[in-house]
Amino acid sequence: MFNQDYSMKIGCCWAYAIAKYGYPPPIGGVLKAASEVADLGFGLFELEAIEEKNLKEIEADAERIAEHYKKAGVKITNFSNLFRDIINQDHKKRKTAIENFSKGVELAKFFGADTVMIDTWVPPLRFIDDVPYKDKLEYGKRFTYEVDPDFRWSVFWDLLVGSITECNRIAKSKGLKLCIEPRVGENISNTDAILRLMDEVDSDNFGAVLDTAHLHAQKETLPLSVEKLGEKIFIVHVSDNDNRENYHLALGQGTIDWKGLFKALAKYRYNGPVLIDIIQNGFTGSIEQEYINAREFLLNLGKKIGIKMECPPPQKMK
């Protein structure tokens, strides 16, 4: 039993909007998703801009989106601000991506988010067949690669560190924390990789999204990942899989040690968002029901192991 004077806060990932309305969702889907998660009883949600076209769509409707979330009583706890070219070896493309990232940070501030999340995308290798995360989210695929003889990881690593450092500077200047989600197949794909990046960036403002599905598929021991990252965990994304593929299944449909994970989080007094990240495969019912089931799974787990979890309800305008 843990002596807790705080609680972990359950909410929804942007995966809900993607599962319902596509990748990225049209503005109509963005608005509907916020209303729907509120109707399901969730008061915490995310919002995402991916690439310049989608960023401009979000910018053009920013006031309407903010007002809609406010009326629904849903807080945007995290803004995912995603541009592949932040790691492009072409200086002009990288500069444009970072400029777009900066615009996204302005939006995150406007929406009242606490964190800005970015990805580190796939390495600049030649993909023989398909490319991961190219046009849509697909899990469990196989890829083949070739390495350019002129490519040098050490040079690319310095570029990556420089870009993330600049993104962190921009986020911090607006009072927002920056976080990265290690994802299967990306430049930062596991706990030790992001720890190395944290050492390079060297900022308390920079932390991790602990995504249970991606790390479990990387054969990570999740309680050990928590122990390694400690207070540098800013967000937790929860979904399940079988430890072989990075599927984002309903909680309890895989082999994740949920008790061990949350006991480890409690050790570090984690009181941030625990966002349900179910997106595909293995549904026992509608996706709406899966999110409700996941919330009950987490609340019941908390009771069993003596950890306070709550699901902040929507604070709808009267």
| pLDDT for the residue 284 | 59
Average pLDDT of the residues in 82-102: 97
* DSSP character at residue 3: -
What is the average per-residue pLDDT within 40-68? Answer: 98
Question: Is 281's pLDDT higher than 60?
Answer: no
- pLDDT(44) > 80: yes
Model confidence at 318, in pLDDT bands (50, 70, 90)?
low
Question: Residue 258: is its pLDDT beyond 90?
Answer: yes
Q: Structural domains in the chain?
A: 8-310 (3.20.20.150)
Band of residue 282 on the pLDDT scale cut at 50, 70, 90:
low
In the predicted structure, residue 189 carries a pLDDT above the cut 60: yes
Q: To which residue do tokens 């970072």 refer?
A: 98
- Global pTM value: 0.93
Stretch among 37-46, 70-79, 130-139, 249-258 having the lowest mean pLDDT? 130-139
Percent of the chain at pLDDT > 70 equals 91
Query: Does residue 223 have a cis peptide bond before it, meaning omega lies within 30 degrees of 0?
Result: no
CA pair distance 246, 183, nearest whole angstrom? 9
200 pLDDT more than 80:
yes
Point out the least confidently predicted range of 5-9, 116-120, 233-237, 261-265.
Answer: 5-9
Beta strands in the chain (DSSP E): 8-12, 44-50, 75-82, 115-118, 126-127, 145-146, 177-180, 206-211, 233-238, 273-276, 309-310
CA 64 to chain centre: 24
| Tokens 């729907």 -> residue | 36
Residue 138 banded pLDDT, cuts 50, 70, 90: low
Joined together, the tokens standing for residue 274 give 């625990």
Per-residue model confidence (pLDDT) at position 148: 81
- 145-161 pLDDT, tens digit each: 778 888 899 999 999 99
Q: Say whether 21 sits in a helix, a strand or coil.
A: helix
Band of the pLDDT at 141, cuts 50, 70, 90? Answer: low
